Structure 1
Amino acid sequence: MNARTQHLDHPNLPQAADAGLLRFITAGSVDDGKSTLIGRLLYDSKGIFADQLAAVSRSKHKRTVGDTIDLSLLTDGLEAEREQGITIDVAYRYFATPKRKFIIADTPGHEQYTRNMVTGASTADAVVILVDVSKVKLAEDGSVTLLTQTKRHSTIAKLLQIEHVIVAVNKMDLVGYDQAVYERIVAAYRAFADTLGLRDVTAIPLSALSGDNVVAASGNMPWYRGPTLIELLESLSVYNDAHAAPLRFPVQLVARHNGHEANDFRGYMGRIESGKVSVGDKLIVQPSGQQATVKDIVTFDGSLRTAVAGQSVTLLLNEYLDISRGDLLAGSEQPATLLKQVVADLCWMSDEPLDARRKYWIKHGTRQSAAKLKQIDSILDVNTQQRAPGTPGTGLSLNDIATVQLSVQQPLAADAYADNRATGAFILIDEVTHQTVAAGMIRLDR
């Protein structure tokens, strides 16, 4: 890739005054510089307060040389994180520039905590995957070997339908800002991304420690003519397709008056996960299939004629129906699919392996039901992206990604995860320990 090709990878950036909110995460292997990168973003964009900076400066857990501020401590808040020099928990930080507001999730790189990365990625619009140039194996024959965690996090980003992938090739200062090294790594990642089917992939060479191409352009890499990381993040388009999707309203609570009112009040409380609802709309209650008509849309500030995705409201209906927590109100013309047999991509997140003999709960939206594993269709090899077929004795271990079939006791009103994140996702809970053991993405393509 020459300088001109690199420039063409980055279209002209919009100059909008405010591009709205962007949620993004950092992902990568251990000590790739994720926390330092976020600290640099906050520090260079003046997204931290003076007292925060003073507290970091006084920290006894110094991981830098001389008087240099350890910017990773801006997100590594746990004592264990500071002592060990690794990120354990997901740390969320908010900051803003004149063009956009951001919510960042700094996720762990250690393989043991991949489940935390899944949690942080579940609501992200973009992922910044850090690649440490000092860890990538560059063979003399021209081959490049990426780390397994880089491939695993990229695979999860694809499964979770994260729209934008930014490959931050970090610690360029350790290789003398060598363009050839950068281009070899980017070419290897793009080849892997093609096998995944990732479409929107943008690469940036940077050094989080010294600030090259994070907020300010680097004079050490004149061959790079693209935007800095913050410029790219400010320019990413985020389209909330939940507004255009069919109505999905999981009922969280049934609200009634205290029994002394003259007028009977029965409202169904919840958050509109997708679509919109208006007074007079015809709805279907799932899974029962009952028909209903919207009488009123009540909020704390009064009644509305129409409510849209993202709003929490109370719906009043003309009909007296048996509706309870766990039911789904959907548009009568485009209801969800009722499933008693669920095919899904499953990320196993428990130290205890999956045991087909154990009982699990499936938590889907506001509904919780008993679930049983029918079979494991295949297990994904994150390095080769090949799938090994499951056998009767096949199990799942920590961080395994598999396509499975589940039987559920009560039908789920669901959509494919690719069409609707809210009604296409679920978690599995161990019935005995009450621990979340897996996250799943429903498939309806078979």
Structure 2
Amino acid sequence: MVKKEKVFVMGLGFIGLPLAVSLAEKTEVIGFDIRREVVDLVNKGNPHIFEPGLEETLKKVLKKGNFRATQLVSEMKGCKYIIITVGTPCDSQGVPILNQVESAAKSIGENLQKGQFIILKSTVPPLTTEEFVAPKLENLSRLKLGKDFGVAFVPERTVEGQAMKELKTLPKIIGGIDEKTNKEVSKLFKLLGGKIIPVSSPRIAEMVKLMDNTFRDVNIALANEFARAASVLGADVVEAIQAANADYPRNKIHTPGAGVGGSCLTKDPLILAHVSEKAGEPLPLIRVARKTNLEMPQRTFNLVQNMIKRNKRDFRNSKIAILGLSFKKDTSDLRETPSKVVYDLLNQTGAQISLYDRFAFAEEVHKLFKAQKSNTLEEAVKGADCLIIATDHSEFRELKLAKIKELMRTPCIVDGRHMISPHFALELGFDYEGIGRPKEAFERK
């Protein structure tokens, strides 16, 4: 156990806060964030993000005295481990924007002490830890890398909605600058649980992170292309995927949907493609996959458009209800959410739009959508001419469709996440369309 060897976590967002409070169950942790409102909320036991199990764990470690948040970067002094979890966005072509990493490295370099280990978890291009962060730390601190301090890259591999569980079970990739760093950083992450996998260098660990998310994005794109084919062939893609995957070890076909969102899958493939192209090796498959996934909100809108016409309505006199605003099920995260793209397309038509998501914070919804979310699902669907399921929140699998039909003016559903039974919806009298699930695929049965 790492006792009396404090941990300092820089950035208390969707990655940093769950990590900080999970480590605080085993050792003393200080969380740093530049936002005063975040620090105040966290210190009161009120996380500013939703993640199952986070609030309970935060309250527990605060009461235990193992965790507190601060705005003072100087409090990293006396901590053995400093973990960087700041954001690393990129532009539309995948050129990484490392301003926050650079700022964090500068702050750390100015306060760095002998015997400390700097751990980068923010997603970055390969060689960033070795050729960007480490030299900056050396130059600012006047300390010697490998002798006085260590640097490692440890990729974040959890998914939102399961982060508190996965932090304790998933394998941890440890990419230290040398064997000593690997050994010391491994000691820390052993506290969480899960297998420790040391690799030969930070660049390998950086590659792992980009490969993880690129693999998922490309495979989701393939599933989305299967859905496109099913739509024009009058087939149900969900039934086909389930049959193809059933007891067949060579298939693990993903689920198509209304779009890919979040800060990782929308960005990491582009970063990998960019850095490889810059080094002289284009990666066309990755770019095509990204384009395919970017098109899915437009295709979802097209289904709504066709349904409005089919029911002899026009957008200007219609109300559209969007159920689900976050990019991922059972979370509050609105970053790069496909729901926003669908909303913007609908907004251009002059339609009245209602929004519902019980997880998303009202102020964040208003900030992004420039609109208020409905307080209840019933309020959102009342008088609606089309209902769009845009996020796969668990509650949407339990929709009371008969009651919803009574509330709607025109009973139409576009299911962007395969949450309801098309057969049941059609039997109740709904007009139905899904991603890769055309109405005619069910009318023949």
Q: Tell me the TM-score normalised to structure 2 length.
A: 0.28
> 1 or 2, which has the higher helix percentage?
2
